[in-house]
Amino acid sequence: MNRSKLVTVALFAVLTGCTNGVVVGMSNSDVSVQLPGGPKNAMQIAKQQIVAHGYTIGATSGTETDGSFVTMPRPVPADAQPAGSTTPQVYVLQVTAGAGGSLGGSTVRVLGYHVPANTPPGASSGQAGVPITTADRKLFEEMRNAAKWVRDAAKR
């Protein structure tokens, strides 16, 4: 197979994978997955999976075509607490779903925030929290797992 055909086949595999929930994208502070179907279905799957894995849904916002929710605060595991911290830390996950862009389908994006332990339920995570990044290995792994739960459920 010549090089241009190989590149074309590889590109096709990547593009078709994006709409079948097989490609997870990551940045320094979020994890996203492309899913088949619309954002409403993606949001339903995301909520089901987050709850199935022990989280409680807190505030929700948006419409059927663009929406998000934030989980209720959870304790940061002891082995992921900041060094020298005397106050137990908590975190939340924020999950958004929207149209998937030119490839169709939908995009689910998972972000995480360290929040003060006294943050009132339903407070905006972006205003009250510090983003979880790849430097927080344990919590970033939890964000990545959440995206995988959603991706895997969408494939069933």
CATH number at residue 103: 3.30.530.50
pTM over 0.85: no
The helix/strand/coil state of 52 is: helix
Long-range contacts from 52-55, C-beta under 8 angstroms, 24+ separation: 52/149, 53/145, 53/146, 53/149, 55/93
Q: What is the pLDDT of residue 70?
A: 94
Q: Given its phi and psi angles, is residue 6 left (phi above 0), alpha (psi -120 to 50 degrees) or beta? A: alpha
Q: What is the pLDDT of residue 84?
A: 74
Q: What is the pLDDT of residue 24?
A: 60
Say which residues have a Cβ less than 8 Å from residue 39's Cβ, sequence separation at least 6. 64, 65, 66, 67, 97, 98, 99, 106
> Is the Cβ–Cβ distance between 75 and 45 less than 8 Å?
no
Count of structural domains, the chain:
1
Check whether 105 has a pLDDT greater than 60: yes
- The domain in which residue 140 lies consists of 3-155
Q: Which of 11-15, 60-64, 126-130 has the lowest mean pLDDT?
A: 11-15
Q: What is the pLDDT of residue 57?
A: 95
Model pLDDT for residues 119-152, shown as the tens digit of each residue: 665 555 555 689 999 999 999 999 999 999 999 9
Integer Cα distance of 24 and 22 in angstroms = 7
